Chain A
């Protein structure tokens, strides 16, 4: 019982964290806490199998999935907690409180019989007992869950799959396009230079210099450019100036 009274408030707090966390990642972590708490609750209530499954499936698999998706979408986003629908938050709170109160009252009315306990049912071991049920009484449902899982997997693949809207670009296509661009705009058809070629600077965020001394923008990785962490022309010229100054002998630290 002690365990329960220690865990329960923690779980409730963590659950409330779901409501108030600004960052989705924090919410996910709160949820993980609740889930682990629940696993312990299961264990307390003579359900060792579910304890294990809860840890493995929920905390292990599902939560990880959540985190993956969060990362895909952007981990560091914060949600605005300002309510946009008029009265929604108040109404939700009122209904929620009423619901909780009502259900508590209901529980007081419904749960009256004494607890039987699972000693008898778990006599042959909890896992064996569940297995006996799953493969006898609930075998049809079990088979259906199997079908459901497969459907879900296929469904996830279909949903996550991006439909190809144009014909696949082969290397030949790429070459032809490069040559055309070279003919029309004079863009260099060869491989873009890697960062640092002809460089005086070895930062990956600084464009390489072409043989004529101009910077090759493409040499900076896309992700850096999109985040805006690329150094601009000015930066580069500043860096070049700095390099010349160093050449002249100003032994100053460039950082």
Chain B
């Protein structure tokens, strides 16, 4: 029941906010939203504390839903799901806090703005917890609705174009996935009882050709979501038009559904096809890394820049997933969490800059560090985490991805490593243009962060630094969950050519 309660908490909160009187003080609605998200966070922490890393799926709920097609209402968390549920519940309060001062196109609609955010949180938790592919699909598509409205109704210029583009891209993916789900139904029905349960699908016998087709149906949907080159063009448009809070929810949480689902649904259920596709996917991932980074360098819009850095980072995540080693997949999962944090910081802090300056163009800023050193500092920390500076959280995950990939394919890993130079370029050039040099005309009005904004940013910054040194709490949860996945898609991790027992030759160089 825990998971249902966790997912329902924000949904009920959203319902309450939807009917919250418009005439009431908007601050009351904000307080309710914050309270609900904090309650969800507490629940998630309780769940995390009860979680036993070695015990597979936990907090399992299973109920018949639509017996005719074998759909179940089935929830359960493994280490990967838990990580992302935690990410979702941690980020939502921060996002709501950051959205406190958002200037909406129509101020009287604050209630529904916050309601959509909470609804998105609830649905995302459901997606991460669903262990029935039909339920997963329904929730997967349902997340589009709040996001569509968040972009289309509360964004900036060009928002309706961006919202429609976002929707169409994702619906196309969803359609392919639906076709694959129908295929799965046919297969399970043929084999006996129709069922969409994850556990039932694991043992399913699928012919080679069929498996590849079904895999593609799922994978393309997730690759659009993730987004993988060349299916990425919706993201920069959406991010450039959405409010900063919406961008965080979209890139840090909802897009993670794509990579999360690649592990749970693509790798686990279609191991053969995953192996078949992995060379192409790995190359696409490397292209994503370099392409996203190069395009980020070329952007003049802060939000588009961050969106393209995310394309690059998602390339790393997908690279790690499809390298099929424990190290790289664990790194990729950890990367999802870390990227969520670092992108959240970047989007929120640039959102604050944009709100103050009234422009998102990098060339409109300059010398901001002088008037808002704290703001500059947070931007720098967010940026450094984005370029994977050791000591900050993303480095650990990025290195794990690269090292894991390196044992499988050296050329690809080396090519991906070039991304770290480009990462330094896009972050530092942006920082230099916005923050350093003489104060640009128009930038004088960029105020220092206030207490509320510090409160919204500080937890993420603290987590980024802490996880940079102590990633183990998350890793120990993630790794056991990945064992079965990797075992299914590969013949075990590549063994070092000249293994050295660590500690055996301690100080014994001579």
Say if the two chains contact directly (CB < 8 Å): no
Taking beta carbons and an 8 Å cutoff, which residues of A are in contact with B? none
